[in-house]
Structure 1
Amino acid sequence: MGFYEFSDYSKLTDTELAALLRSGDRLAFTEIYERYKSLLHRHAYKWTKDRDDAKDIIHEVFSNLWTKRETLSYSANLGPFLYAAVRNRIFNLLSHQRIVSTYIASVQQLIDQGEYVTDHALRERELRLIIDKEIAVLPKKMQAVFKLSRNESFSHREIAEKLDLSEQTVRKHIQHALKILRVKLDMFILLFLLLAFRI
């Protein structure tokens, strides 16, 4: 395949772009990015309901596409490949959010039940202190929303009424809090699961 001027890249098929990308052609990568970024972002946002999360997912997908371009199996099927990559990251994100949410809500209950041996209880208390410390450094409004949701089991509507916020704002605060905690606490969550549930 010969050399293409940048202005001609938009005329190339996905198969041609894939071949150029595999050889390290940055202009081909740019064309793929421009061709798919908006479609993929809309797809990611539809599931995450968070523009920052959607943006991060798209960035990760295209970064991975470039760094692993020589080994990834995308050939002529760029579209399905990219959609699958976005979908996998969405599932990972939602899974992490559920783990963080469930973990924070349940650790104190597990400790109170006293069903674990002393060393497990001590580890759980240490992890709870770490979690509480991370929650304490969240922005004040986000912290208040998060505590009402996770500690008091308030609904979004109840939190909105109590703090004079919209339900959408409450939802955003919780999503952002989970995103921050997910990054900081993944290691501790894994440790807890390994020790407490003997995975």
Structure 2
Amino acid sequence: MAEYSAYTDQELVALLKQGNTVAFAEIFERYYPLLYSHAYNKLRSREDAMDIVQDVFVKLWNRHQRLEEMPNFTGYLYTMLRNTVLSFIYRQKTVSDYASQFEKFQEEGEASTDHRIRESQLRLIIETEIAALPPRMREVFELRRNEYLSNKEIAEKLGISEQTVEVQMKKAKKQLREKLGLLFFFMYFL
């Protein structure tokens, strides 16, 4: 990869557009520290900053065939980062708003129509994310959540190993935490 380090951004983008993974790796090595630093300064969370920068590079790879020649590739990456950070902040605010409303509802003990609607919306969002899980992962998750089966019972029912059940549950919880936010997840499942 040492030879790629001498390439300009434009040369790397041209190679990336052709699906060159070494060019992508060079772009990653070149820009990850800068993008991470910028994201961390905005979010003040190492984990969130790492996730955001990873999302930027995933988006870049997913768009690599549609990339056009651009004189300011750095600006393009920073724009992607800014938009991803803003989207993340908006999602966090939305989750926080829902969590606040749900807490208030529990404290008041009154089930007003507005609160019921919000609770219903919250449940719908959660169910939508569960439905978006890969089929086997969703099946394992729902057997645990809805039928309260143990890993052993799920393994027997599906004809898979207990370890596979455990791995699928961990992956499902991780995906849901990433999509819904940690607070959101604990509110609903604990």
TM-score higher than 0.5: yes
Matched residue type, 1:89: T
User: Which residue of structure 2 lines up, in the alignment, with residue 180 of structure 1?
Assistant: 182
Change (3 A) 1:108 1:58: closer
Change (3 A) 1:30 1:128: closer
Higher share in helix:
2
Higher relative contact order (CA 8 A, sep 6+): 1
User: Which residue of structure 2 lines up, in the alignment, with residue 66 of structure 1?
Assistant: 61
User: Which residue of structure 1 lines up, in the alignment, with residue 139 of structure 2?
Assistant: none
Change (3 A) 1:74 1:54: farther
User: Which residue of structure 2 lines up, in the alignment, with residue 22 of structure 1?
Assistant: 17
- C-alpha deviation, 1:8, in angstroms: 1.7
How many residue pairs are counted as aligned between the two chains?
132
User: Which residue of structure 2 lines up, in the alignment, with residue 89 of structure 1?
Assistant: 84
Alignment deviations for residues 13-40 of structure 1 (CA, whole Å, 9 cap, x no partner) = 1111110110111111111111100000
**1: distance between equivalents of 2:80 and 2:68?**
12
Per the alignment, in what secondary structure is the counterpart of residue 64 of structure 2?
Answer: coil
- C-alpha deviation, 1:72, in angstroms: 3.6
User: Which residue of structure 2 lines up, in the alignment, with residue 12 of structure 1?
Assistant: 7
- 1:18–1:76 CA contact under 8 A, matched in 2: no
- 2:9–2:73 CA contact under 8 A, matched in 1: yes
Change (3 A) 1:124 1:25: closer
**2: distance between equivalents of 1:8 and 1:128?**
51
User: Which residue of structure 2 lines up, in the alignment, with residue 35 of structure 1?
Assistant: 30
- C-alpha deviation, 1:127, in angstroms: 6.7
Change (3 A) 1:129 1:9: closer
Kindly, what percent of the aligned residue pairs are identical? 33
Alignment of 1:50-199 (within 5 A): 50-73=45-68, 75-107=70-102, 109=104, 117=113, 121-124=115-118, 179-181=181-183, 184=185
Runs of 4+ in structure 1 off by over 2 angstroms are 72-77, 106-117, 120-130
Q: TM-score, normalised by structure 1?
A: 0.55
Query: Which runs of 5 or more residues in structure 1 are unaligned?
Result: 1-5, 131-175, 189-199
